[in-house]
Structure 1
């Protein structure tokens, strides 16, 4: 029998119950023998006792297997697996040498001197080298030392500046940094100092409103808030004010858009080139969603997604001081979306605190996912702005959620990054099929939501117009009402006065309908005049960032159903927290646009 893994707590601490083996762990029986990781058991390898049996036992088993073709084949497969495990490090090392040789040859022969040409190449090489290095070198000693250093620095800071004085000093330093950059920059294509100070005022007002409506203001973790704001600010400066940052994110956007465009080959075979050239939303959106879901599922099977998310989660929980589960879900939201991000921590949903549930939902509402990225790019939305908005909203969603619903309990994943075990597919094709099925279900859900919401909005507009005629109001529509309701908030984001009403209508449409409807109205894809043609460069920039999130009424029901199916006992808590998380996620996306406008 294969040894069973322990419960969530034992797995999260990296402690195996008696009889099981974790990656790289040795037992007295292992002395002088190779150690196999738990992945080998998931691939059908024999048990630990068979792995370390004597040579005579292997000889008897092989002799006995010769009489049975199927058993003999299984024995050969086991030998191949043992050989692959033995020489795996050599194969990986040789692969790195070849990649390095190709990298050096590319720089020498290509003679690339432009930053936009060289930087993406360097970024890709560093990522591959780091991945291979992490394979050879155990990361636990390094992360443990970094964690101890951070803990020592934190304790030292607490001793030097105790209590609220520490957070007050940090807040003053952050405000001084915001003001120095906002006032230090001259007039640019996105406005001058007065426009940037308008956005700064919006950040202060939004933060004050959230603190005033907080469930427990005394328990707000200001470290999470201040560091989250600082991370957003730094990312905005890197993308908008440095050439290498702009080149890097432009390359990421170009690569993501080009990669998802391969879905057109499958769609063209199925629907024909005529349908592709028609620009229909379904033909543009659905193939990209299915292709992306299939690709992500393959990466899950290969372990790439888990590796990346664990590193990102560790980075965020160390800096922001959140629990490991919150950090993992927030890191995953821009990649796999709000419907699948909680699957990564499903073993811990039943035991999450209400603050953790609120933070996980807020992270999903504050970003869009890679599956719908190509659809918005096809509409004409700037790809670099979409990617930047999603990454910047990760720390902001955690910061604002901890203001709105502070942590008052002790999370079981505090101080450690955890990932739930996933059912292992048989092979890559199996993983691709599962991903395609997931993408198809998501496509149908989006299809139904768009049809229902657009039809409902037009029905409401018909009723409002009919009622407005009796009091002398022409063209009374829901967009008109929402434009006035969101007017103050839109102005606080830094939108120029002449653009405020148009952008506020888009924000209202996004919250009541969804972001796809709002982006369609922005670019005129719904048949109406394109709003972007009437906006200034600053107004268009803020609108593109402020709409890049899943916070809308339809997503609330989707999140309640999704998390409720994974943790039935918490469905009541999820339902009570969902509306607050949705509004906080919407504000987090707007906060991202305000910070971008402050440094633009």
Structure 2
């Protein structure tokens, strides 16, 4: 039996080869692109995991998430009473029975949405995006617009990130359009990162820092997977790209950020209800006929990807099932299960790899959101955006698994 770290290393190469094979075998294997992409992922992951000052930043990120969660609970307790986390007026019949997801966990979206808008207005987020985009442009030779959008996806939502480059969307090559879409699906937004970190805190040490590191590593992974699937021309260089001014004042940013957060909160609630219901309905049809569920089917189909990430064979089926839940439903439900009893049965190494690998919007519902949002921003490219929807989902899934394999390579 090979060491699990070596399994992850071989898996990284296998995942890169899979992305290239999906794009067609007739092209020569672009070893330079593969070497650059994998090296950047490993170096970035090693720095985030093993350099003491950066490791210390993980605990800071964890304290920030905890502070945001406690601050949000103060608001929900006032508005919703014991439904929102205030002391119960009765004895709890079973531990955790009083926890209500919508009233206690999800409202943090409102606070983070307001703070994110404020940081954008103060030009903090655009400055971070600018620094990261330069590094990506130097490493992969993508255009300025493409690099900015990929970098923005680490901190903002997949549709919001394209607002940074709205004037240049029409001029992107087809290859770079796939890069932009893949990056949107392979990363998560800052507000969702905070929610997932709060959910995973009991199951994964330094959950906030781990998810932040995963989102950062997924940026070069997304470019690599998309470039291997669809190589092509780089769009004409767009000079210095300035993030558009979205708000008139700090108060405008706070109010509109809160409003956007409310819209996101309601969309999350509706999406969870509908997609969990659809999966349950599909299982009601499939299970009597075959004895299988969508989750068990995913556990078989995605088992090789779990092995490629360096997960031990005894955990691979359960890990593949969580990957399948993320793809069929969404990452929220996958993380919810991982934070529960099902995750407790997994080895700590498996939980760490999955916390990185599930850190992306790589699911069918997000493809629909992205296609609709980008199509509205750039109507003249709508047909091309629609055609790239499913390839972007596949590339993003491979990129997220590369991210999981990276932490598997770097962890005991």
Give the TM-score normalised by structure 1.
0.62
Work out the CA distance in 1 between the residues paired with 2:175 and 2:12.
23
**Is contact 1:514–1:554 with CA below 8 Å preserved after alignment?**
yes
2:343 maps to which residue? 532
CA apart distance, 1:568: 0.8
Q: Structure 1: which 5+ residue stretches go unaligned?
A: 1-191, 525-529
Q: How does 1:67-82 map to 2 (within 5 A)?
A: none
CA apart distance, 1:487: 1.3
For the pair shown, the structure with the greater C-alpha radius of gyration is 1
1:418 maps to which residue? 241
1:582 maps to which residue? 393
Cα deviation code 1:115-141 (max 9, x no counterpart): xxxxxxxxxxxxxxxxxxxxxxxxxxx
**Is contact 1:263–1:288 with CA below 8 Å preserved after alignment?**
yes
Work out the CA distance in 2 between the residues paired with 1:499 and 1:446.
29
2:251 maps to which residue? 429
Quick one: which of 373, 380, 383 aligns to 1:569?
Answer: 380
**Is contact 1:294–1:436 with CA below 8 Å preserved after alignment?**
yes
**Is contact 2:126–2:243 with CA below 8 Å preserved after alignment?**
no
**Is contact 1:261–1:374 with CA below 8 Å preserved after alignment?**
no
Cα deviation code 1:164-185 (max 9, x no counterpart): xxxxxxxxxxxxxxxxxxxxxx
CA apart distance, 1:220: 7.7
Work out the CA distance in 2 between the residues paired with 1:291 and 1:217.
50
Quick one: which of 140, 144, 151 aligns to 1:331?
Answer: 151
2:230 maps to which residue? 405
**Is contact 2:83–2:104 with CA below 8 Å preserved after alignment?**
no
- CA 406–372 in structure 1, closer or farther in 2 if over 3 Å, else same: same
- CA 570–320 in structure 1, closer or farther in 2 if over 3 Å, else same: same
1:237 maps to which residue? 46
| Residue 391 (structure 1) aligned with residue 207 (structure 2) | no
Name the count of aligned residue pairs: 395
1:163 maps to which residue? none
Work out the CA distance in 1 between the residues paired with 2:246 and 2:26.
41
- CA 437–575 in structure 1, closer or farther in 2 if over 3 Å, else same: same
Work out the CA distance in 1 between the residues paired with 2:243 and 2:45.
33
Work out the CA distance in 2 between the residues paired with 1:406 and 1:267.
49
Work out the CA distance in 1 between the residues paired with 2:159 and 2:260.
10
**Is contact 1:261–1:288 with CA below 8 Å preserved after alignment?**
no
| Residue 194 (structure 1) aligned with residue 3 (structure 2) | yes
**Is contact 1:367–1:550 with CA below 8 Å preserved after alignment?**
yes
| Residue 549 (structure 1) aligned with residue 348 (structure 2) | no
CA apart distance, 1:435: 1.1
Work out the CA distance in 2 between the residues paired with 1:423 and 1:216.
45
CA apart distance, 1:373: 2.1
| Residue 341 (structure 1) aligned with residue 164 (structure 2) | no
Work out the CA distance in 2 between the residues paired with 1:441 and 1:297.
14
- CA 533–560 in structure 1, closer or farther in 2 if over 3 Å, else same: same
CA apart distance, 1:424: 4.2
2:90 maps to which residue? none
Structure 1 residue ranges (4+ consecutive) displaced by more than 4 angstroms after TM superposition: 215-224
1:389 is paired with a residue whose SS is helix
1:144 maps to which residue? none
Q: How does 1:447-462 map to 2 (within 5 A)?
A: 447-462=269-284
CA apart distance, 1:216: 8.8
1:548 is paired with a residue whose SS is coil
1:370 maps to which residue? 190
1:515 maps to which residue? 331
Work out the CA distance in 2 between the residues paired with 1:334 and 1:257.
21
1:368 is paired with a residue whose SS is coil
Work out the CA distance in 1 between the residues paired with 2:319 and 2:377.
37
Cα deviation code 1:340-371 (max 9, x no counterpart): 11011111112221112111111111111111
1:143 maps to which residue? none
Work out the CA distance in 1 between the residues paired with 2:10 and 2:31.
19
RMSD of aligned residue pairs (Cα, Å): 2.2
CA apart distance, 1:549: 0.7
Cα deviation code 1:278-313 (max 9, x no counterpart): 432212344221211211222222222222222221
**Is contact 1:490–1:500 with CA below 8 Å preserved after alignment?**
yes
Cα deviation code 1:403-454 (max 9, x no counterpart): 111122x41335x4413533441x2211211111111111111111110011
Cα deviation code 1:504-542 (max 9, x no counterpart): 111111101100111111122xxxxx2222111222222
2:89 maps to which residue? none
**Is contact 1:392–1:592 with CA below 8 Å preserved after alignment?**
yes
1:551 is paired with a residue whose SS is coil
Cα deviation code 1:79-112 (max 9, x no counterpart): xxxxxxxxxxxxxxxxxxxxxxxxxxxxxxxxxx
